[in-house]
Chain A
Amino acid sequence: MEIKAEDYCIQYDVHGSTVDFHGSLLLNGAEEYAPIVQLLNNAIEQQTAFVTLNIQKLRMLNSSGFQMLSKFVMKVRQQGDIKLIIKGNQKNFLANQILTKSTAFNANT
């Protein structure tokens, strides 16, 4: 499954249980992020032990995008039966941000 636009591309590989993010995700609010949320939900609905989010090639993410990914991390945590792996790299500080945000959320609920 793939969502492709001029500035970004998101690919879901069912066999590897991996969602790859490429480019700049700067969409306008929750409504425009809905198809991506659907793709992510689809990934965790499969009978799988883990899902990997690979954001090594994600260059930009706006606050609506942070919100969308943080909510997804929370959802997986609450569900509790799937291991979520977020792949970033040293030059990409988005992964830490997403994890920190969703941890802050859990601590307060």
Chain B
Amino acid sequence: MSVERTYKEINERIKAGKAVVLTAEEVIGKVREQGISRTAKEVDVVTTGTFSPMCSSGVFLNFGHTKPRMRMSKVWLNNVSAYAGIAAVDAFLGATELPEQDPANSDYPGEFRYGGGHVIEDLVAGKAVNLKATSYGTDCYPRTELETTITLEKINEAILFNPRNAYQNYNCAVNLTERTIYTYMGALKPNLGNASYSTSGQLSPLLKDPYFKTIGIGTRIFLGGGIGYVAWNGTQHFPGFMKDKEGKDLTASGGTLAVIGDLKQMSSRWLVGTSYLGYGATLTVGIGLPIPILNEEILEYAAKSDEELYAPIVDYGDAYPNLKSMDLGYASYAQLKTGSIKVRGQEVPTSPVSSYVRAREIAATLKNWIQKGEFLLGEPSQLLPGPEQGLKGKSLT
């Protein structure tokens, strides 16, 4: 009889301090050693982690009211504009927003040393941040100008809300042109000079539950060092499978998460302002998901190793920017992690943009929280759409 568990049963075991939790790295060895059935009987939860630049991130802030009151139509934090086209003293600060008068790429490649992601890091680190606001003034909100200093502690709310995070899988970026290019995957040297990849492979949350059998609205997660939740599917959530030459499923790709959490609980170790030369500013976000081992099938996917997970190799010199299709093949995460892959018969050195070291630390931290009974699993109110729904991206004309 193969094992079946419910969220309730797992949470009871967590509360009793009896839950067996392994990281997504540890479970691979366990399954190799003793097989799926025995491991599924023993293990309640597998924890995952990723620590990667995630541009679609930001924070909703409520500053509290001034005397006299002000509606705040335009808001800047450390000279970085936040969107204030919502209610009085609310604003949304996005990770990729640049300071006013930033030279951007006018002196190519631009440095992008500071941006919205860096403001978020400063806030989380408890640093004082300059707040400037203007308004047209109304009878109920007469004040028209404000300049002051805030800290995370002093404001009412700071809610991290990231509309597209934790990409299930990601391109391995190369450059087939004859000049160095500057991308969100880092600098890419000409003529296949290097290859840049992301995701933590065998530790990556959405690669370990490719059919979205456990991840949904309300899944409780590690977010930025605190506790957060899956709020919805991410934007551009088009889960599917890349196919091998025989047309068989190779590796899941296309899924994304929208996540939410209280910034006040988080830490600047897990939310880091980030700059890509010639590209822009962003935020590196730490995310970890627990995968409840409800049955053997869920474990089978959660135990996939770097040897079994592949990333597509994509030319960022022409094919990617011009939305052209070009088949450069796939590389397994095991190959990518050796430091070298073969593309068109050429040896190409690889380097990551996401930190495997920190991803491992996230999975271990989440495991520790669950073992100590501090973190219970959140049963999703509704699972996210899986590959069977056939969601596909639209393009603009």
A in complex with B:
no
